Amino acid sequence: MAQQHLDRLTAVDASFLAQEGPSSHMHIGGIVICDGPAPGYEEMLDHIRTRLHLVPRYRQRLAQPPLETGRPLWVDDPTFNLEYHVRQTALPAPGSEDQLMRLVARIMSQQLDRSKPLWEMWIVEGLQEGGFALITKTHHALIDGISGVDLATVMFDLAPVPPEIPHSDEPWQPHAEPTGAELVAGGAAGLARVAAGAVATGVTLLRRPAASWRALTEAAEGLGEVAWAGLNPAAATPLNVEIGPHRRYRVVRNHLADFKEVKNAFGGTVNDVVLTVVTGALRDWLHSRGVRTEGLELRALVPVSTRTREETGALGNRITVMRGPLPVYIADPIARLRAVKAAMDGLKESKQAVGAEVLTGVQSFAPPTILAQASRLNFSTRLFNLIVTNVPGPQFPLYVRGREMEDVFPIAFLPKGHALAIAIMSYNGQMNFGLLGDYDALPDLDRIGDGIEASLEELVALARRRTGPARPSTNGASRPVVAGHDG
């Protein structure tokens, strides 16, 4: 669907605004490391200008209807200035990866200015190993992880020579600033579209009574499972404490082939192996904190994309969530993997995701004050201990201005009362982890990163013992780093 002036935010998008506070930043992002010399600043600006028409939302800002008569709307920013959003900097010598991650942590510790389009891009030069980095930062109200991968085609190319991008060659002309009446009308039009969609769905269900009964039954079961999850809170852990505004960031490099080797040996999916590796790392970290893990099971909030094929490339959030168990009480790594697989299979067969989607649909009709309360419930520490999100990326090289993208690391966000979020992204044979931690609550974030490496290595060794002679390990291309800032 085209991104229009006066589009109303969806209930999910608006919930990310409602959740944001001085210590809970609702932006996400990523780090891309490319080979070769960095493009010149003006060259990069021109490159982005030729593609901005493909993502009109990047030139739009938030507008609030008078007296909170509805959810915010997206409106063209008449003062849009690309130079504000694209920033250039360089690391001091020696330009180590540790320094780069400290810069990332500092950038992610600052909230986006809501009076402007909600994104930034940083071009970083002076890397010790050569090449340059791009750091992106986008508010979650604008984009989710799945659509973010789709939008990589805006900035990145499939070949070293950039293709010609079709363009009208007419300069962008923003719509005039909307009046209060136009904002109210825009919100009403958005509500009418939601209502019309609900009516159309209802008519379709009436024409198919058997299907409608199954849908209603599944929705009721789903709501019941969501309610039951809320009545059975997640365990209290050192991950669920008051957090501040400052962040640490740690990356761990892996290879997708190692995860596939483990799942081929023991069953399950790549995502099951990812959750098992995270479980093993958290088990080790809890022990280092003196926390007993007998009988302890953590819960991960696992986002699930509900984006249809027709919606591929659209901005905004088409996600729901499941609460995946992390059985840190299990010492044996293979038994741990089997427990994770069984639990995730059960969740997929359950109606939990359906129930979450029903709640999101109900929120589409909620006034802003009720929506804000509902969004706080969605991110309650009663429901989960940390976010673990696994984003599939392209399994072929991408380029920016002829420079190949060598590494990519995703960056999640920390809701209130959550000190850790783990984001994973596959790209061109890699399976890289990005760990975002609260600066004060997780001075030992490095321990969790090391645990991810060790947990995967243990599973790979067991898989090779089962399937045949060992081959050289592909895990840990270079030692990971922990980084943050003290400001």
Active site residues: 140
Q: What does R_g of the chain's alpha carbons equal in angstroms?
A: 23
> At a CB cut-off of 8 Å and minimum separation 6, what does 460 contact?
258, 261, 262, 473, 475
Number of H helices, E strands in the chain: 14, 16
Residues 112, 176: Cα–Cα separation, whole Å: 24
Query: Computed from CA positions of residues 484, 443, 326, 12, in that sequence, does the dihedral angle turn out positive or negative?
Result: negative
The torsion of the CA quartet 482, 31, 441, 110, rounded to 10 degrees, works out to 130
Q: For residue 263, give the H/E element and its range.
A: helix 256-266
What whole-number distance in Å separates Cα of residue 299 and Cα of residue 302? 9
Spatial neighbors of 34 by CB under 8 A, at least 6 apart, are: 131, 132, 133, 134, 400, 403, 404, 405, 406
Distance CA 474, CA 60 (A): 43
Nearest CA-CA partner of 449 in 255, 300, 250, 297: 250
CA dist 109 and 484 (Å) reads 9
Report how far apart, in Å, the C-alpha atoms of 223 and of each of 205, 235, 379 are. 19, 22, 17
Helix, coil or strand: residue 314: coil
Q: State the alpha helices, DSSP H only, in 63-179.
A: 82-85, 97-108, 145-150, 152-155
Q: Which residue has the tokens 């509805």?
A: 70
Report helix, strand or coil for 449: helix
125 with 90: CB under 8 angstroms? yes
The values of phi and psi at residue 406, to 5°, are -95, -40
Positive or negative torsion for Cα 6, 11, 13, 15? positive
User: Cis link prior to 166 (omega < 30° from 0)?
Assistant: no
> Two tokens at 61?
């800002």
Alpha carbons 339 and 331: distance in angstroms, whole number: 12
Neighbouring C-beta atoms of residue 55, cutoff 10 Å: 19
Residue that is written with structure tokens 């960095």 in the block? 38
